[in-house]
Structure 1
Amino acid sequence: MSVPLHYVVKTRLVELIEQLGEGSGLPPERVLAKDFGVSRWTMRQAIRELIADGRLRARQGQGTFVATPKIVQPLALVSYTEALRAQGHVPAREVVKFDEIPADDVLAEQLAIAPGDPVFELERVLFADEQPIGLETTYLSVARFPTLREVLDATGSLYRCLTGQFGVQFGEGEELVETVIASPREAELLKATQQLPMLLLHRQTRDTDGRTIEVVRSLYRGDRVGFRATLRP
């Protein structure tokens, strides 16, 4: 089976990336194409795939650089803040939306409330080392957490607030991971292009009594974040 030329070039570029090291600038596309003996189109395709893979990062007006390693998040019921700090990163959040909305039929069933009951919708951009890596939208029952707006530092840890202010004891959760393309709004918030692959996580978290605490939709940049799970028989 023949191997596409751009894949061969991509493999050689990976070797070059490893030699250059993190943060180093890649030679211009035209120079690389000449050195590798391929067309600029072929070189451009290989570079685009390495950007999507998270190995390279393009900076508008500056060039293409060797990217830092991806942040690996555990698929577990842990605070985003604590998980990033444990890896030596500086976490931050920016609130995009914190509203009350009526629950539709699906959300009402997930939260075990009646359709039309008020629900908090908390949407935040997630940052690591001042770079946007994710967009998280959390839904919680207003009846269960009536003072959430008053007690929550929306730029801090929601889990810490739920545990400390409401006595929530996290039990278990279900998470579905899929790949998607960001909407124009999502891409803008994450400072990404719509062509960049995204990882979408749907999570439903329950307490130790089996009651649903939250429903979460998290969108992560595929070039900056990966996920790890511990599997046991």
Structure 2
Amino acid sequence: MSVPPHLAGEPVRAGIPEHGRIPRYYAVKTQLLALVQELGEGAVLPSERELAERFEVSRVTFRQAVSELVLEGKLVRRQGAGTFVAPPKLVQPLALVSYTEGMRAQGVRPGRYLITREHLPADRRLAADLRIEPGDPVIHIERVLLADEERVGLESTYLSARRFPELLDVFDPETSLYACLRDELGVVLVHADERLETVLATPREALLIGTNPATPMLLVHRVSRDGAGEPVERVRALYRGDRFSFVTQLSGPGATG
């Protein structure tokens, strides 16, 4: 099976093992990528039988290639309708920018719906992150993140209930928490420590986000601070790996400005 010439220097090279033989499913995958680029966003793929015959492979091999592209967010399956070319991934900056601002900058309508709003006693780790005492009350807000009405993530935020006793009275959970902190409570986030890793969602998380438990997720841990360096929030946010990528700006030691 030949590799499309315009893809020869792209993903297929990374897929060639040391012995030099390209796995058959991977060669199919590169051909599917070429077809995806040709068809464009939202187009439906020809039938499995047609494409398996075109690529001269078994349906099992073809399905493996398609499954990888679905997990990577290049294709999307719709029950009873077929397999479609997926839209481009959403891009969220690794910066102190709210989810609302990040989505609107891409022309996407952000949304959230509330799952949990409660008071909890802080365990030792949470207390250390928020610089409070273990057992002190914290506010826990858990929300599903939406992009143009599509469920794309799940966010849990923890704040000191003693520092923000009025928060739940003034905060609309369908809107930006950062805007509420700034406009209603006069708190501006200035610094944050953030860590990003890949995980699989728990069964509960997958159900809330509406995704396959096998879909890779991007997990963000963040502790945000105000101008005085005091912790304001601790966040645990899950984003669908097939729908999101993250971007940041880096500077070398010689950079100016």
**1:57 maps to 2:76:** yes
2-structure distance, mates of 1:204, 1:232 = 23
**1:189 maps to 2:208:** yes
Q: CA deviation at 1:159?
A: 0.1
Q: CA deviation at 1:45?
A: 0.5
**1:203 maps to 2:217:** no
Q: CA deviation at 1:169?
A: 2.1
1-structure distance, mates of 2:249, 2:71 = 25
Q: CA deviation at 1:141?
A: 0.3
Secondary structure of the corresponding residue to residue 192 of structure 1: coil
Secondary structure of the corresponding residue to residue 190 of structure 2: strand
1-structure distance, mates of 2:26, 2:248 = 29
Residue 216 of structure 1, aligned match among 203, 221, 235: 235
Q: How does 1:39-188 map to 2 (within 5 A)?
A: 39-188=58-207
Please state which structure has a larger fraction of its residues in strand.
Answer: 1
Deviations 1:29-58 (A, max 9, x none): 122111110011111010011011111001
Structure 1 or 2, whichever has the larger Rg, is: 2
Deviations 1:70-89 (A, max 9, x none): 00110000111111111100
1-structure distance, mates of 2:134, 2:230 = 17
Residue 228 of structure 1, aligned match among 247, 250, 256: 247
Match of 1:6 in 2: 25
TM-score w.r.t. structure 2 length?
Answer: 0.89
Name the % identity. 54
Q: CA deviation at 1:107?
A: 0.3
Unpaired stretches in structure 2, ≥5 consecutive residues: 1-19, 253-257
**1:29 maps to 2:48:** yes
Match of 1:38 in 2: 57
Unpaired stretches in structure 1, ≥5 consecutive residues: none
Q: Which has the higher contact order (CA 8 A, sep 6+)?
A: 1
Secondary structure of the corresponding residue to residue 33 of structure 2: helix
| Runs of 4+ more than 3 Å apart | none
1-structure distance, mates of 2:42, 2:148 = 15
1-structure distance, mates of 2:23, 2:197 = 27
Q: Report the count of equivalent residues.
A: 233
